[in-house]
Structure 1
């Protein structure tokens, strides 16, 4: 590549709504389903469901937990009082969506949900630690999504198209979608993130920021680099219409093959992990082999071996149960009262 080209290559490609939407799940999955994880797409989702995800308290819709519905009111009890503005507390039920989710759970024997772009990986603490992120009821799906900060990105066009040029009124239509992926245990040490700039695979990064001994063996790195290059050349490059993109792979146990986990726009919002985007720009204009970077020491600044991932998002299960159907202020008062009671009992 000439030096003239090198001086004209921007750090990021042009960000347009159509470019961003080419990386939502329903846009890329049909072309790559044979090399990806089995998945079901449910779209479009209703505005009511969007409002449920945006609502303050953490609770699951009625009828979604696969338990018999029992009344919690005796004949002498009154129904809940309305809020100060005269509106009843929020009540949500999605029987049709519940049915579609149950069908996918039956088909796949457990699912992992995501929205158009984002998965609720930060809410893994909500479900059983032995089967992280595995949903076996619609309630599990809703609870994961409601407990996640990550998925908030997908709820509004303004955040989805952040950084795009032009007036918002001219942006492409955007419909919220729910993706249910077949769940199975994933070894994070075999996940890699790959960066393609101007049609060239310039960098491969270890995705999980823990230190792994085997990833620091030169022979292993050669195997991974060769496997990724082969999969990209044979299965991804011929089908991907964009020349700038980021894709995640889950490698097989022998590291010889891989499954496409996701595609992401080549954009500031996509985590560059062990690279900076300036690094990747320099690699894109250099006549070098694809660079593979790993956490090379337990003392690496990004190594988090002894800290739970997304620990800042975790709250006690009791807090989730206590918050159900309540506003933030109501929950705060009840949580404070419960803490005071626990202190007095001690």
Structure 2
């Protein structure tokens, strides 16, 4: 670690909740051990696993919209991963919001036909053996699935999805390989359906904005929802960093996967800071519409390569963006000067993933409680069958 940088102690924010009529009370503990109770709108009801705090951040809806993927991608696409943007169809939104977690069957048949296999047996597997009408029917979105599969094929056969702001990282465990890699519409739809992060984009993207509508039911999105398909890239976790910008000055950087120690970061921290600062100064500074924002980047191991740094995403400067190895109370007090504060995990102790708390989506909780466990088995069998087809 740099001589001027003290050893970092990562502070975990604890969260508890209780429902009171139409609102939810969140109790948050800060770094000093103190806490506060605050009312949060019902729109945040799906975000019970996320860190939440509300301070005097003067955030506007326009700030959030500026960080929406379709707002910034056209201007910065040469610095980031190739992506396709499409409107999220109403039928897919309804599936994400309301349908039980059942794997769409049509995506299997489309992929099977492309690979030269028949999917008749998969279709039969959805029928109820006793012939009752209570069986959950697998949803079918043939037009959407065909379009998504066409885009996936144009992006070398694999993508990772997101909506306007969030990727379903909390649901990666449900995908085989525990990644966001999607090779078919089936993979994509299941990830979106199982993710609480995606629910944030649907229900509460403006929850921390001072000009957001308050005290009203937000069952329908008040903004245009986009589905983003990004060409799959195997990004090294030791190369992902979060950058904090205030008054158009880059003043803080930390590693993205703060739960892990990486030897590469310890050895190359000076070069990492240098290439990130140069990338920001040449390509981003003054070109992004906000003065205060957060930027995620990936850094390769060849520091002199022109494409060493890739832009991954933009986020708002303040909650609900995760400060990772910083907390927002200290970030707002950092002076803006020539020194960039850089933090990395120096503790080599093994620890569980920060996403482990999300490994049981609400739908699966309902299934495991006795609602219909056969459907979970069907979902797993469908993915196993698809993996067999991929290997054939």
Q: Say yes or no: TM over 0.5.
A: yes
- When residues 334 and 30 of structure 1 are mapped into structure 2, their CA distance, relative to the original with a 3 A threshold, is closer
Deviations 1:78-121 (A, max 9, x none): 86525xxxxx9565322221122111211112010111111011
Residues 12 and 266 in structure 1, CA contact (< 8 A), matched pair in contact too: no
Q: 1:185 aligns to what? A: 234
1:252 to 300, 303, 308: 300
Which structure has the higher relative contact order (CA within 8 Å, separation 6+)? 1
| SS of residue in 1 equivalent to 2:342 | strand
Judge which range, 50-59 or 15-24, deviates more: 50-59
Deviations 1:2-60 (A, max 9, x none): xxxxxxxxx865211121111111111111100000111111x2332112112353112
Q: 2:179 aligns to what? A: 132
> CA RMSD of the aligned region, Å?
3.3
- When residues 73 and 64 of structure 1 are mapped into structure 2, their CA distance, relative to the original with a 3 A threshold, is closer
| SS of residue in 2 equivalent to 1:295 | coil
1:264 to 315, 322, 338: 315
How much has 1:149 moved relative to structure 2? Answer: 2.0
- When residues 308 and 80 of structure 1 are mapped into structure 2, their CA distance, relative to the original with a 3 A threshold, is farther
Q: 1:4 aligns to what? A: none
**2:144 and 2:212 mapped to 1: Cα distance?**
34
1:161 to 176, 201, 206: 206
| SS of residue in 2 equivalent to 1:160 | coil
- When residues 97 and 297 of structure 1 are mapped into structure 2, their CA distance, relative to the original with a 3 A threshold, is same
Aligned pairs for 1:64-83 within 5 A = 64-65=107-108, 66-67=111-112, 68-70=118-120, 71-72=123-124, 80-81=132-133
How much has 1:215 moved relative to structure 2? Answer: 1.6
| SS of residue in 1 equivalent to 2:332 | helix
Q: 1:216 aligns to what? A: 266
Residues 122 and 309 in structure 1, CA contact (< 8 A), matched pair in contact too: no
| SS of residue in 2 equivalent to 1:298 | coil
- When residues 74 and 239 of structure 1 are mapped into structure 2, their CA distance, relative to the original with a 3 A threshold, is closer
**2:126 and 2:329 mapped to 1: Cα distance?**
65
Over alpha carbons, which structure has the higher Rg? Answer: 1
1:205 matched to 2:254: yes
Q: 2:275 aligns to what? A: 227
1:330 matched to 2:382: no
1:143 matched to 2:190: yes
1:99 to 146, 149, 167: 146
Deviations 1:227-264 (A, max 9, x none): 01110011111311110100100112224421011100
Deviations 1:158-190 (A, max 9, x none): x11102223629999501111111002110100
1:57 matched to 2:100: yes
1:274 matched to 2:325: yes
1:175 to 224, 238, 260: 224
Q: 1:298 aligns to what? A: 348
Q: 1:307 aligns to what? A: 352
**1:184 and 1:268 mapped to 2: Cα distance?**
28
- When residues 231 and 331 of structure 1 are mapped into structure 2, their CA distance, relative to the original with a 3 A threshold, is same
**1:201 and 1:315 mapped to 2: Cα distance?**
37
Q: 2:63 aligns to what? A: 19
How much has 1:76 moved relative to structure 2? Answer: 11
> What is the TM-score of this pair, normalised by structure 1?
0.78
| SS of residue in 1 equivalent to 2:315 | strand
1:41 matched to 2:85: yes
